Structure 1
Amino acid sequence: MVGQSGQQTGQKSGQKSDQKSGAGTKIAFIGLGRMGLPMAVNLLKAGFDVTGYDRATEAGVAFAAKGGRSAASARAAANGADIVITMLPTSAIVAACLIGEENALADVALGALVIDMSSSVPADTLKLAEALTARGLSLVDAPVSGGVGKAIDGTLAIMVGGEAGDAARAEPVLKAMGERIFRAGKLGAGHVIKVLNNYVSAAGALAAVEALIVGREFGLDEGVITDILNASTGRNNTTENKVKKFILSGAFNSGFDLALMSKDIGIAAGLAGDLGLDMKLLARTSQEWTAATDELPAGADHTEIYRYVDGGSRRG
């Protein structure tokens, strides 16, 4: 892995190796959700010795069906592991799992590496690092982007923050799950760029669905609007990958919860505030996604922001 901030390592598209390079490395993977399960399976395919854990029993059963071992607790999964990976909803849950009530790291040997691949609060990441350092453990933050599809085929983009030596140690593990590995900078940098990325994505999604609704009300076909945007400068991730597949189809099942998107934008807004920055669009985007989370049913997919904006336009 390259040590310079912002550079990337990893194989080019279509060159992902099938060579099993993980023999002898014991990994605990905590968090076998929609993203975590396929990521853990790809570690198995790379030859790593993986024990998984998830509070949802069915997730552990699904991992076992793919050839992995499923532990009864986070602590049992991490017992004797060289590397402990977390893929959990929030940094508070990560801390509770690792050093709090679940105490997953109680039986982990000195020198073990923790890789937090969750979307966490950067300040919480730094606090966790202090606690781990006191235990003789190291931490790298390595959140991901690309969604469930890229988690399945092992082509995620992974943003890494941490000391150069720790990042280099994590590299073979990350390459089993991602195609583009970026060295973002110091510890916490991965989590910072992750929430900034999701903010930009969320702002683009709001703009896209507003454009669809305005055009529709004028009498335009939303599919045609999407085609024109995608052939023009207005295209973005939502117009290219989500509008037709998940929004206009009525499926609303991209696999990423609206509440999680809202959480990440809120973290980005909080970071801006902590830095003394008045970012008006960021603040407004956070407000809109928070309001959508409050209004829509629990578990709503983030593509359902369309429903929120559509309803609001009629209320407003």
Structure 2
Amino acid sequence: MGAIGRPMAAHVARAFETKVWNRTIERAASFAQEHGLRVAADPSELVSWADVIITCLPTSADVTAVAHGAAADWREGQLLVDATSGDPAEARELAAWLAARGVAFVDAPVSGGTTGAEAGNLTVMLGGEPPHVGRAETVVRPYSGKIRHVGPVGAGHALKAINNALLAVNIQAAGEGLAALVKLGVKGAVALEVINASSGYSNVSQNLIPERVLTRAWPRTFRLALLDKDVGVALKVLEDTGVPHDAISVAKQALGKARAVLGEEADHVELIKEIEKAAGVVIE
């Protein structure tokens, strides 16, 4: 249960009878004690107990491993709602595997960060067949501000990956542009004031850079490693659909280099640290 999954689970637990499981069992035990819930010993126990299972793991491969680990316990009529920022192709494969057992699948990745998760105001992108999506909407509503059925199985994961690729491109472009402006004598705060009143503004320029870079606070809310993974998924979506992907390819390369230097725990906005280092400047 991570920074986003834990508050999501708390909202679900307040709305429905809930049992929890986590690969780090201490996290599940702590959460269960806080909310008065029961802990499943393993995925098999959870699948045997629940009608609807919500997964929120780092990758689609992790979700598949958990689902296959409980292969003998799935039963007809169940629904798996996958809130992972996952891979569309892998989601389609898992959906087919579950369908052979009479189990429905809806991919349901979220956007809105830790603030949205804690407030129960996340945007949820649902991919699946309409009857199953209707059931999924009921389950995700407690932690959602906006819910949209965006297409068939895998469409939710594809949209989330593209959204995060746009985030990555924005971070890189804003970091590079601001570094150049500071070297030319423009204060970072002044540059952002103008940009945010002009056509180049984004969430990165309006919120992330003022709150994290100018302050040098660098809070860790979303790992750069996970953004790197998501951009890799987006790149694969573009390649598979035959769409040019120059900008996102460059962002993927930059994230990979920063991840190698900064490590697995670095926050996604810390990409700008590497831009500052290469430029020999501090954006402030």
Moved more, 209-218 or 111-120: 209-218
| C-alpha deviation, 1:257, in angstroms | 0.3
1:227-266 alignment runs, 5 A limit: 227-266=193-232
Deviation at 1:232, TM superposition (A): 1.8
Q: Which amino acid aligns with 1:280?
A: D
Residue matched to 1:87 = 56
What do the CA deviations read for 1:50-107 (whole angstroms, capped 9, x no partner)? 11111223321331213332222222223220101110000111101111xxx23532
- Distance, in Å, in 2 between the alignment partners of 1:230 and 1:68 is 45
Question: Does 2:32 align with 1:67?
Answer: no
Q: Does 1:187 align with 2:156?
A: no
1:41 maps to 10
Q: Distance in 2 between matches of 1:275 and 1:251?
A: 39
* Alignment partners' CA distance in 1, 2:17 and 2:61: 27
Give the Cα separation in 1 of the matches to 2:37 and 2:4: 16
Using the TM superposition, give the Cα deviation of residue 245 of structure 1 relative to its aligned residue in structure 2, in angstroms. Answer: 1.5
User: What's 1:267 paired with?
Assistant: 233
3-state SS, counterpart of residue 219 of structure 2: coil
State the distance in 2 between where 1:221 and 1:74 align: 53
Query: By how many angstroms is 1:124 displaced?
Result: 0.3
Identity %: 36
Note closer, same or farther for the CA distance 1:239–1:68 as it changes in structure 2 (3 Å cut). Answer: farther
2:271 maps to 305
| TM-score between the two structures when normalised by the length of structure 2 | 0.94
Matched, 1:121 2:90: no
Which of 100, 104, 109 is the aligned partner of 1:138? 104
Alignment of 1:281-300 (within 5 A): 281-300=247-266
Give, in whole Å, the separation in 2 of the partners of 1:50 and 1:265: 33
- Give the direction of change, closer, same or farther, for the CA distance of 1:108–1:307 in structure 2 (3 Å limit): same
Q: Secondary structure at the match of 2:18?
A: strand
List gaps (5 residues or longer) in structure 2: none
Residue 254 of structure 1, CA deviation: 4.3
Query: For residues 62 and 230 of structure 1, what CA distance do their matches in structure 2 show?
Result: 42
How many angstroms apart in 2 are the aligned matches of 1:88 and 1:35? 11
- Residue in structure 2 matched with residue 77 of structure 1 by the alignment: 46
Aligned residue for 1:77, secondary structure, equals helix
Alignment of 1:84-233 (within 5 A): 84-99=53-68, 103-104=69-70, 106-233=72-199
Give the TM-score taking structure 1 as reference length: 0.85
**CA distance in structure 2 between the aligned counterparts of 1:208 and 1:119, rounded to whole angstroms:** 24
Segment of structure 1 superposing worse, 68-77 or 295-304 = 68-77
**For 2:36 and 2:210, how far apart are their aligned partners in 1?**
35
Aligned-partner Cα distance in 1 for 2:171–2:6: 27
Does the residue aligned with 1:106 lie in a helix, a strand or coil? coil
Q: How many Å separate the matches in 2 of 1:188 and 1:83? A: 19
Aligned partner of 1:57 among 25, 40, 60: 25
**Of 170-179 and 223-232, the range deviating more from structure 2:** 223-232
User: What's the CA shift for 1:298?
Assistant: 2.1
- Paired AA for residue 188 in structure 2: E
Residue 243 of structure 2 corresponds to residue 277 of structure 1: yes
Which ranges in structure 1 are unaligned for 5 or more consecutive residues?
1-31
Deviation at 1:313, TM superposition (A): 2.8
C-alpha distance in 2, partners of 1:146/1:106? 35
1:156 and 1:104 map into 2 onto residues whose CA distance is: 29
Tell whether the 8 Å contact from 2:74 to 2:101 is kept in structure 1 after alignment.
Answer: no
Aligned to 1:249, what secondary structure does the other structure show?
coil
Letter of the aligned partner of 2:151 in structure 1?
A: G
- Aligned residue-pair number: 280
Aligned-partner SS, 2:77:
coil
Instruction: Using the TM superposition, name which of 294-303 and 113-122 deviates more.
Output: 294-303
Using the TM superposition, name which of 190-199 and 205-214 deviates more.
205-214
CA distance in 2, matches of 1:62, 1:157: 27
